[in-house]
Amino acid sequence: ALALDPDYAPARVRLAEALERTGQFDAANREYEQTRRLDPANAHAHAGLGRLALNAGDADAAVRHLLRARDLAPENRSFAVTLAQAYARAGDRERGQQIAAAARSLGRINYRDDPIRSGVHDLALDARSYLRRANAHRVHGALDLAERELRAGIDVDASRPELHFGLAEVLAVSGDPVGSLDAARRAYELHPQLEGAAPFLARALFQTGDLGAALAMAEEALRLDAGDVSMMLLVALVSAERGDVVRTVEILDHAYQARPQDPRTREGLIRLLTNVGEAMVGSGLSDAAAEQFEKALDLAEEAESLEAAGLRRRLAQVRR
């Protein structure tokens, strides 16, 4: 590529990265410097110089280069993480920890400004490329384009479960629950162990009203991942709908013991515990109801939720 265009910075920075990966650090450093001269705004060149400086033990130079890389590409998670390491090596651990904590909210896909390579990728007709382009469209909210890429990929190779699963996710967001269910079912048929496929299918079945199939699939998802609290809640919800109090209380206790940290999942668990407690009060089971309210209150207090005060009052009423 560089023989065709020696001044094409994206190709030169890729050469530098290849040299870095193979341990040719001096040559890599020269290529990164050349890239920086050709394109001062190339964040990957500054990041490469920072990594090499960090490996050479020059933490101050690493911080300087990586700060510039982060300024040019603040959305790049890897730059931020490496900058945090550089600050720690330079003796400022507190600053490094702050940057590392902030980096957790950044995405893991780091885009490059490489128009020629992007153009080649856009012409690729293999199933993996269709999936990659669909994911990029989805990230930017272009769901119609994402759906088009996924369907085209399925036409090329219908045996790829990840294409069907991606289509299921896009159709769910687009408001097509039936189409989403069909695609999720196909993905699961092709690869039952595909990460996320069983829980997604269980939720899709529940949303379309097939409670029996939803319960069976949620139980299967728990067999694959016994710690999936969201599936525990789905099992509890369907069991409660069916009047299976014993199974409902049992699975809610497992969910409570798991102490979910995801706010949405925790709120769902608090709500279910509260609803079961109220149902028990209505059936005259005050002691059993109090246990459910105690668990809900414990989770609410741990999360410093505004619901804690109301749960505390309700628990006091039940105990009277």
- For the segment 226-262, what is each residue's pLDDT rounded down to a tens digit? 999 999 999 999 999 888 989 999 999 999 999 888 8
Same structural domain for residues 138 and 217? yes
Asked if residue 223 has pLDDT above 70, the reply is yes
Same structural domain for residues 160 and 68? no
Q: Check residue 193 and give left, alpha or beta (phi > 0: left; psi -120 to 50: alpha).
A: alpha
CA torsion sign for 146, 147, 149, 154 is positive
Q: Identify the DSSP state of 126.
A: S
Same structural domain for residues 215 and 235? no
CA torsion sign for 180, 186, 189, 194 is negative
Same structural domain for residues 156 and 98? no
Residue 244 lies in a domain: yes
Q: Domain boundary at 225, 251, 272, which?
A: 225
Q: Which residue, 285, 211, 220, 212, is CA-closest to 246?
A: 285
Give the residue ranges of DSSP H helices in 175-207: 177-190, 197-207
pLDDT tens column, 115-127: 666 666 666 677 8
Q: What is the pLDDT of residue 110?
A: 58
Same structural domain for residues 135 and 192? yes
Give the residue ranges of DSSP H helices in 22-105: 25-38, 43-55, 59-72, 77-89, 93-103
Range of the domain at 238: 226-320
Residue 113 lies in a domain: no
Confidence (pTM) = 0.60
55: buried, middle or exposed (CB in 10 Å: 19+, 13-18, 0-12)?
A: exposed
Domain of residue 314, CATH code? 1.25.40.10
Residue 118 lies in a domain: no
Same structural domain for residues 39 and 65? yes
Number of domains in the chain: 3
Asked if residue 293 has pLDDT above 80, the reply is yes
Q: Enumerate residues 6+ apart whose C-beta is below 8 A from 77.
A: 103, 106, 107, 108, 110
Residue 109 lies in a domain: no
Angle between helices 9-21 and 25-38 (to 10 degrees): 160
Q: Domain boundary at 50, 73, 103, which?
A: 103
Residue at 311: amino acid letter: L
Residue 287 lies in a domain: yes
Same structural domain for residues 20 and 64? yes
Supply 30's token pair: 């020269």
Q: Domain boundary at 189, 206, 225, which?
A: 225
